[in-house]
Amino acid sequence: MNAKRLLYNECLRIFEVDELFIESLHEVGLIHVVVNEQERFIEFDDLSDLEQYIRWYYEMNINVEGIDALRNMIERVKSLQSEVDKLRSELQFYKSIF
Protein backbone atom coordinates (compact mmCIF):
# COMPACT_ATOMS: atom_id res chain seq x y z
CA MET A 1 0.00 0.00 0.00
CA ASN A 2 1.24 3.46 -0.90
CA ALA A 3 1.71 5.86 2.04
CA LYS A 4 -0.78 8.32 0.54
CA ARG A 5 -3.35 5.85 -0.74
CA LEU A 6 -5.73 3.24 0.59
CA LEU A 7 -6.42 0.07 -1.36
CA TYR A 8 -9.85 0.30 -2.97
CA ASN A 9 -11.02 -3.06 -1.59
CA GLU A 10 -9.72 -2.14 1.85
CA CYS A 11 -11.72 1.09 1.67
CA LEU A 12 -14.88 -0.87 0.85
CA ARG A 13 -14.23 -3.17 3.80
CA ILE A 14 -13.42 -0.42 6.30
CA PHE A 15 -16.34 1.84 5.41
CA GLU A 16 -18.73 -1.06 4.72
CA VAL A 17 -20.10 0.57 1.58
CA ASP A 18 -21.36 -0.72 -1.73
CA GLU A 19 -18.85 -0.61 -4.58
CA LEU A 20 -21.48 0.97 -6.87
CA PHE A 21 -21.74 3.92 -4.48
CA ILE A 22 -17.97 4.52 -4.62
CA GLU A 23 -18.00 4.14 -8.40
CA SER A 24 -20.86 6.66 -8.65
CA LEU A 25 -18.88 9.16 -6.56
CA HIS A 26 -15.89 8.59 -8.81
CA GLU A 27 -17.92 9.02 -12.02
CA VAL A 28 -19.29 12.37 -10.79
CA GLY A 29 -15.77 13.46 -9.79
CA LEU A 30 -16.33 13.63 -6.05
CA ILE A 31 -13.48 11.21 -5.30
CA HIS A 32 -10.50 9.99 -7.29
CA VAL A 33 -9.79 6.33 -7.86
CA VAL A 34 -6.19 5.76 -8.92
CA VAL A 35 -5.12 2.66 -10.85
CA ASN A 36 -1.50 1.65 -10.34
CA GLU A 37 -0.04 -1.69 -11.38
CA GLN A 38 -3.42 -3.47 -11.63
CA GLU A 39 -4.44 -2.21 -8.17
CA ARG A 40 -7.01 0.48 -7.43
CA PHE A 41 -6.52 3.03 -4.69
CA ILE A 42 -8.34 5.96 -3.12
CA GLU A 43 -6.21 8.95 -2.16
CA PHE A 44 -6.00 9.69 1.57
CA ASP A 45 -6.94 13.30 0.75
CA ASP A 46 -10.35 12.04 -0.39
CA LEU A 47 -11.09 9.94 2.71
CA SER A 48 -12.53 12.69 4.91
CA ASP A 49 -14.81 13.78 2.07
CA LEU A 50 -15.73 10.14 1.46
CA GLU A 51 -16.74 9.75 5.11
CA GLN A 52 -18.99 12.80 4.79
CA TYR A 53 -20.54 11.51 1.56
CA ILE A 54 -21.19 8.12 3.18
CA ARG A 55 -23.06 9.81 6.06
CA TRP A 56 -25.11 11.92 3.66
CA TYR A 57 -25.94 8.91 1.47
CA TYR A 58 -26.67 6.25 4.08
CA GLU A 59 -27.90 8.30 7.04
CA MET A 60 -29.69 11.15 5.26
CA ASN A 61 -30.70 9.31 2.06
CA ILE A 62 -29.15 11.95 -0.21
CA ASN A 63 -28.41 10.55 -3.66
CA VAL A 64 -25.08 11.06 -5.45
CA GLU A 65 -26.41 13.95 -7.53
CA GLY A 66 -27.65 15.60 -4.33
CA ILE A 67 -24.26 15.05 -2.70
CA ASP A 68 -22.58 16.74 -5.65
CA ALA A 69 -24.97 19.70 -5.47
CA LEU A 70 -24.56 19.97 -1.70
CA ARG A 71 -20.77 19.88 -1.98
CA ASN A 72 -20.86 22.61 -4.62
CA MET A 73 -23.10 24.78 -2.44
CA ILE A 74 -20.82 24.30 0.58
CA GLU A 75 -17.77 25.25 -1.48
CA ARG A 76 -19.59 28.35 -2.73
CA VAL A 77 -20.56 29.34 0.83
CA LYS A 78 -16.93 28.92 1.95
CA SER A 79 -15.79 31.09 -0.95
CA LEU A 80 -18.34 33.77 -0.15
CA GLN A 81 -17.40 33.68 3.54
CA SER A 82 -13.76 34.15 2.61
CA GLU A 83 -14.71 37.12 0.45
CA VAL A 84 -16.78 38.63 3.29
CA ASP A 85 -13.84 38.22 5.68
CA LYS A 86 -11.51 39.94 3.21
CA LEU A 87 -13.94 42.82 2.69
CA ARG A 88 -14.46 43.15 6.44
CA SER A 89 -10.70 43.41 6.90
CA GLU A 90 -10.46 46.07 4.19
CA LEU A 91 -13.33 47.99 5.76
CA GLN A 92 -11.60 47.93 9.13
CA PHE A 93 -8.46 49.29 7.48
CA TYR A 94 -10.32 52.19 5.87
CA LYS A 95 -12.22 52.92 9.09
CA SER A 96 -8.92 53.17 10.95
CA ILE A 97 -7.68 55.80 8.48
CA PHE A 98 -10.60 58.15 9.13
Q: Can you tell me the distance from the alpha carbon of 32 to that of 22, in angstroms, rounded to the nearest whole number?
A: 10
- Model pLDDT, residue 36: 86
Q: Over the stretch 76-97, which tens digit does the pLDDT of each residue have?
A: 999 999 999 999 999 999 999 8
Contact between 18 and 8 (Cβ < 8 Å):
no
Task: Report, as an integer, the average pLDDT of 56-61.
Answer: 96
- Burial string for 35-61 (b: 16+ CB within 10 Å, else e) reads eeeeeebbbeebbeebeebbebbeeee
pLDDT at residue 3 greater than cutoff 70: no
Q: Over the stretch 26-42, which tens digit does the pLDDT of each residue have?
A: 999 999 999 988 899 99
Cβ-based neighbour number of residue 6 at 10 Å: 18
